[in-house]
Chains A and B, each alone.
Chain A
Amino acid sequence: MANEDVQEFDVFFKPDLVFRDVEYPDTSVFFRKIADVLEEKGYVQPTFYQAITKREENYPTGLQTASVGVAIPHADPVNLKKPFISVIRPKNPIEFSPMGGSQDDPKVKAELIFVLGVTRDGLQVKVLQKLMAMLSDESLTDALIRAGSDRETLKIIETFFTGKKATVG
């Protein structure tokens, strides 16, 4: 059980896919930049940018949890090369349309964004459940928003996913 949780964390979360304090004026700039980085690092296919843009347009992923506005954009697995979850805390919130809503609905101001590179391997359900549990916990979302380094961001997530004690210095 504990080993599986460790595995989930290691499979999805990568130190080089945490981005903090970056300014993105809107989702289209955000998707262009993140797709370029993910492609350059070998996580996604060249089709990813088109796929995630179209997907977000048709099925938006903004979510208002009890504590914070978040977004979990993703594309069909065919556009991926290997699994990942990229964690982005933009300098200013990015406006996403709400999941289940349309472009005309009030936007969700996403302070935390998790780009999901998940496939149909069964792990995606566990990791997404855990992610949503984490995002419903105000002390954790506060900590993620305030985190002063990429390492601290990952440490908060690792502690929650694996149950390990935090050793943030």
Chain B
Amino acid sequence: MAKIIVACGSGVATSQTVASKINKLLSEKKIKSTVEAVDIKSLDKFIKGADVYVSIVRTNKSFQIPVINGIAFLTGMGQDKEFEKLVNAIKEADAHKAG
């Protein structure tokens, strides 16, 4: 099962809201995954076990895993496209784990 992490400045408001939206969209599609909201300061710790990173804040780092634009899930602008990217990344991660 793919693990998705969402990070914002505090892990309280924005990231939790985006995580909840993604959870809802994924369960509507019957895609199983775990979605976790974390604060940006603990991103390094949590990203190790994650398959997809949903980004709400800017970082200068590069990541080994796919990065999805989380703001789309907040405003609804471009949400379909980002969600499609997310679903593809989850499928890829699941296939990789099965193989």
Binding site for B on A (CB under 8 A): 55, 58-59, 63-66, 72, 74, 76-77, 99-102, 116, 118-120, 124-125, 128-129, 132, 135-136
How far does the alpha carbon of A120 sit from the alpha carbon of B15 in the complex, in Å? Answer: 12
Given contacts A65-B77, A66-B76, contact A132 B17 (CB under 8 A): yes
- The answer to whether A116 touches B71, judged by C-beta atoms less than 8 angstroms apart, is no
- The answer to whether B75 touches A64, judged by C-beta atoms less than 8 angstroms apart, is yes
How far does the alpha carbon of A125 sit from the alpha carbon of B15 in the complex, in Å? Answer: 9
Q: Which of B28-36, B42-50, B52-60, B87-95 contacts A (4 or more CB under 8 A)?
A: B52-60
- The answer to whether A116 touches B77, judged by C-beta atoms less than 8 angstroms apart, is no
Interface residue B25 (Cβ < 8 Å from any Cβ of A): no
- The answer to whether B14 touches A128, judged by C-beta atoms less than 8 angstroms apart, is yes
Given contacts A65-B76, A101-B58, A119-B12, contact A129 B71 (CB under 8 A): no
Given contacts A100-B55, A100-B58, A132-B17, contact A58 B77 (CB under 8 A): no
- The answer to whether A77 touches B12, judged by C-beta atoms less than 8 angstroms apart, is yes
Q: How far is the CB of B36 from chain A (nearest CB, A)?
A: 13
Total cross-chain contacts (CB, 8 A): 66
- The answer to whether A64 touches B77, judged by C-beta atoms less than 8 angstroms apart, is yes
Contact among B21, B40, B70 with A129 in the assembled complex (CB-CB below 8 Å) = B21
* Chain A positions within 8 Å of B71 at CB level: 63, 99-100
- The answer to whether B13 touches A58, judged by C-beta atoms less than 8 angstroms apart, is no
Residue of B nearest to A133 (CB): B76
Can you list 15 A-B contacts with CB-CB less than 8 angstroms, sorted by A residue number? A55-B9, A63-B74, A65-B75, A66-B77, A74-B13, A76-B10, A76-B12, A99-B57, A100-B56, A100-B57, A118-B13, A124-B17, A128-B17, A129-B21, A132-B74
* Chain B positions within 8 Å of A118 at CB level: 12-13
Given contacts A64-B75, A65-B77, A100-B58, contact A124 B8 (CB under 8 A): no
A55, A76, A100, A128 interface centre (most CB from chain B within 10 Å):
A100
- The answer to whether A63 touches B75, judged by C-beta atoms less than 8 angstroms apart, is yes
Residue of B nearest to A63 (CB): B75
18 new A-B contacts at CB < 8 Å, known A65-B76, A100-B57, A124-B13:
A59-B40, A64-B75, A66-B75, A66-B77, A74-B13, A76-B10, A77-B10, A99-B14, A100-B58, A118-B12, A120-B12, A128-B13, A128-B14, A129-B20, A129-B21, A132-B75, A136-B75, A136-B76
- The answer to whether B9 touches A58, judged by C-beta atoms less than 8 angstroms apart, is yes
Residue of A nearest to B21 (CB): A129
- The answer to whether A59 touches B8, judged by C-beta atoms less than 8 angstroms apart, is yes
